[in-house]
Amino acid sequence: MDFFNSMNVSASALSAERTRMNLISSNLANANTTRTPEGGAYKRKDAVFAATPMRDSFDKVLNNAANRDIRQVKVMQVIEDQNPPRLQYDPSHPDANAQGYVALPNVNVVEEMADMINTTRSYEANVTAIQAAKGMAMKALEISSK
């Protein structure tokens, strides 16, 4: 059933967008975190998406021209943003350095909100794609009804 391939591709996109949403939540929750287990302030995290071919068996993928060029989405790695942290002058803070500056995370809340909207819309778009594939399958079944 070829509709299932289209649904599997959209399912991979839904998983990837959910992972990205988790990272955005982590960034927003830790927007003011000065201490991390790795040391230093929290660093903004982002996901790297990669296109991978369908995980079908090799000959099935090659033989079916419709499936040869389809790519699934996969989260390859989670990278940390290498921008320098925000420095704020607060000598009384327990995490202040020698000059009295506290390193705050390099998380821009407005950017994270925009990313969150982006992720939500992408998720909804993929759900619509799944519904469209399902609608096409149902229509095909209607061929036999009067």
Binding site for another protein (CB under 8 A): 1, 3-4, 7-8, 10-11, 14-15, 18, 127, 130, 134, 137-138, 141, 144-145
- From the CB of 30, what's the least distance to another protein, in Å? 21
Q: DSSP labels for 21-75?
A: HHHHHHHHHTTT----TTSSS---EEEEEEEEE--S-HHHHHH-HHHHT-EEEEE
Between 72 and 106, CB nearer to another protein: 72
CB 16 within 8 A of CB 52: no
Residue 39 φ/ψ, nearest 5 degrees: 95, 140
- Closer CB to another protein, 111 or 124, in the complex: 124
Least distance in Å: CB of 4 to another protein? Answer: 6
For the bound state, the minimum distance from the C-beta of residue 141 to another protein, rounded and expressed in Å, comes to: 6
